[in-house]
Amino acid sequence: MIAGIDHFVLTVGSVEDTCAFYQRVLGFKRLDEPGRPTALLFGTQKINVHEAGHTFEPKAKAPTPGSADFCLVAARPLAEICASLAANGVAIEVGPVERIGARGPMMSVYFRDPDGNLVEISWYNR
């Protein structure tokens, strides 16, 4: 019945800080359209970014900055992700470590964004 994920929403303390982080560190593209939430585009997905106190309807019951924990699949080897994190002063909390993802074995690194959300980036052994 379900084919994949189109987007998810992050509630953040600052849209500007969050977008700058994801653009600089992971190469996401920012999209601003009148009357719509700011979006961060990557691959064929996006993250809608809502600033706390300025969210869009409908929304989560208790949207809170720093409460997300999600995994993204890398388009490039994990070593390149680690290099980008290091170059941008982002500390890796865990990894690289082996995990089992939706498609099988993968290697992952974990770090935090400006709001403290836990971001996992994974590379499938192809």
Query: Annotated active-site positions, please?
Result: 120
**Which amino acid belongs to residue 48?**
N
Could you tell me which residues come within 8 angstroms of residue 44 by beta carbon, excluding any fewer than 6 positions away?
none
CA 75 to CA 5: how far, in whole Å?
16
Burial class (CB in 10 A: 0-12, 13-18, 19+), 123: buried
Could you tell me which residues come within 8 angstroms of residue 113 by beta carbon, excluding any fewer than 6 positions away?
18, 21, 22, 119
What is the Cα gyration radius of the chain?
Answer: 15
